Chains A and B, each alone.
Chain A
């Protein structure tokens, strides 16, 4: 890649302050759709997949699977249509990046869809967006309509002869529809209950056809990889986790919000330098690195680079990059109550371990918080959480177990204080 490129390390959000960027003409004024046009006109699908694999782009929906590799699984020799699905269900508590990516850069997302659509030979992309996102859905539909009228989508994409349509589908309020096979069921007009795998979606996905599901942000990186090249992309972030991501910082910080930073940026740098640290001179007690499903880290473990290969060593994971900060007043049992209430309410109920387990975890947490718990309850919590791991149709049950296990690992003494005092010893904590 001989050409010089400016060292932009906030490429996803670079133009987000410009309201015109959401329109087709405004997007084109920044060079938008030029990359997709060039790639579709000049490269073969195999070359495109090759570039994506070399880029090492990791999925940003939570599991961090290599995007190029996933696209390479799509069969290219089958008769009949295949599909892409853009997962815009974003419901992981602490995650709000996809909403902003859709509201401020809808055409960046569409351009990011077109390139893998071409590479996998997909006829249609279903953009499945959670029902609560009415405003982003309106903005996206307008962008889709404009792009279709302007020849960017449709039977002759950007004059290249490739045909592709994007269909916006709205959910109706169910967290589990973010799990990719729950999403596929919902897309088919059914209850969003996750499917047993195999078969994997690349073999049998939406409407029985080969399908690949990716997160909104994953798609948004793609045009930049091709515009500036693999070497440039790999120069940002870490060896294993290249590129930037949108860290969403919330909870007890001075400046909550989204920060686009290279993967591998240290968690304490994100919290203290970018988000302004904990307000009111209070101390930090713990932080969750990637949405409530990810195990929390106590103060003292925050010098970790935010990339899966490092977070793994601390027993956690990047998840969706939603950083939730808790100050010293925070009662960790209340945190457990709120998180386990969420999982109890959102279990789809197919697997006994998950349906029963999430109910038990919540009941025990509440009992301990209200002062009626015993020391034996802590062991029961651990036991129930342990039995939920790795036993179920989807990873929801693991995601319900991990935060509880991490709370007990790092804050067992707080649980014991509740048991001994027979009440919550944190009167200053947030209201439950």
Chain B
């Protein structure tokens, strides 16, 4: 965190207003995180034999789990992405967003969406889990809430594109600055991906939940859901990648090697994130095996940019550590700034992602998937990815973003550093327990305290899971203490905090110009999606025969 930025007095009124809305968007994410943590605690306690849902005034484990999933992966992640990658574009292009009204609109759309969805869930009108598989039929407010959350992200993209266009007019022929490029690519990828769930909800589910049409096609809805449901994981992950690529090297005093490689990585995500959804439907009836294998092929392609990332980031970290006097093959790791809470959180996030990525390869391997599909191995996997790689990055980034947005100095730095260690230790136990029990056959989405067929071999692992989960919740609570402590400080105590941006050894001028052809890459991505999905929607046996069920 350097302190050489322009003093706030230099900011234009548009920029000040926009940063304010971005700040509220971030706080909205924190609200989601808080709700998710509370439910996480109940889930961890259930693993240890305490089923406390009545005491918590909730109707069932599943109601809590719906709230947990929605809060963590729709509210926290969306709001963080919206805030961070709006600020990123502003910082990178050195101008305010094209429209302050759109920045505000994105916040309001998300906030109203959260209110509607939260009402539906808490009123026990929408116990359908975050996957909302029809023909379970929630209150329409749940669907509308989900749509508004997605709309908030579309508004961000629109604003990013308008801003980029204005910048290009002022800078003809110049390469797009890296941070703006990766921010926009992330949102374009997500926009295309989100069309699946948008069609599912707007065209099929909302009319059906209002009784305008009587029946729906559950398999079609599932296919549309997973059209969005895989790329959504990249929508959660890419803001974290942006943070790792752009801000972390700066904070450790290192440089990125090549601007072009990073652009290439994000282009690969744009191309391959979406045409892979059937890997979530390996076990579905009604979908041809051959098509599932085609999607598996593309799935393996999308691992590639993450492997590049592993190398590039490690190189940037080593560069930083060695410039600070580190040496040796691995001893340089000690030279990283282990006292900087922002850095430490993200180092652990990266480490978690290595394990999460490996377990993801297991899930993606069609036949091996038969061993783990819908077992507790799966939540074991994704608490390493979204639950740690992304969540811990959001916490780490917040440790400079909150001072950046409020001018208040981060409080309790040592506590904040300890918080990351605790989370990582917690998730190691938590995910280990879930994965081991899953391989022993324990299904996911079942309250351990109620299940009628519990096996002896799961019990020890459930306790390990429960202990690990409790440590994570404790860590999350410490995060909130640090943030609240910060907000209670005096304005201006932080001095001027800058948005950290890493230097590159080979800058944008040395990158091939074709990388900047965003329109071209978007077109290629659409072609790949057509290849992957036209056969799916042609061979689909349309079967609108399912009425809605409210079974909770």
Question: A and B from one assembly?
Answer: no
Binding site for B on A (CB under 8 A): none
